[in-house]
Amino acid sequence: MDEHCAGCGHQDTCKEAYQIAGQSQGPNITWKAIQAFVLPVAVFVCAAGIAQPWLKNKIENPKLLTVALLSMGLVAASVAIFGIRYLTRHKSGQSRCPK
């Protein structure tokens, strides 16, 4: 790393910035990031993947099949997002409406 930084005019400030960021005492956002990005995508893919063999026998038109799978995946992902939001707010005691 020092060889990479040799000759850089920001060598000292760069190292300080990473040291300060490494000592941060903020909350861990890993689970929130998984909830926000990974779970909805995984639910979408799983719903479309599970529905495809079932719908393939029922819908002959490939374009219509694609639209149906996309719609089912979006509905499943939306339900997952709202379910995750409800569970995280209910668990933490937060509410959308002020008391």
Instruction: Please give the residue that has the higher pLDDT: either 70 or 8.
Output: 70
Query: Mean pLDDT over residues 6-32, rounded?
Result: 76
Any domain includes 14: no
Print the domain residue range for 87: 28-92
What integer pLDDT is reported at residue 7 of this predicted model?
A: 72
Instruction: Please give the residue that has the higher pLDDT: either 81 or 13.
Output: 81
Any domain includes 72: yes
Q: State how far Cα 77 lies from the chain centre.
A: 11
Domain count, the chain: 1
What integer pLDDT is reported at residue 68 of this predicted model?
A: 96
Any domain includes 10: no
Residue 1 has pLDDT above 60, yes or no: no
What integer pLDDT is reported at residue 16 of this predicted model?
A: 77
What integer pLDDT is reported at residue 99 of this predicted model?
A: 54
- For 42-98, the pLDDT digits (tens) are 999 999 999 999 999 999 999 999 999 999 999 999 999 999 888 888 776 655 555
Q: How far apart are CA 37 and CA 56, in angstroms?
A: 28
Tokens 């379910």 appear where?
83
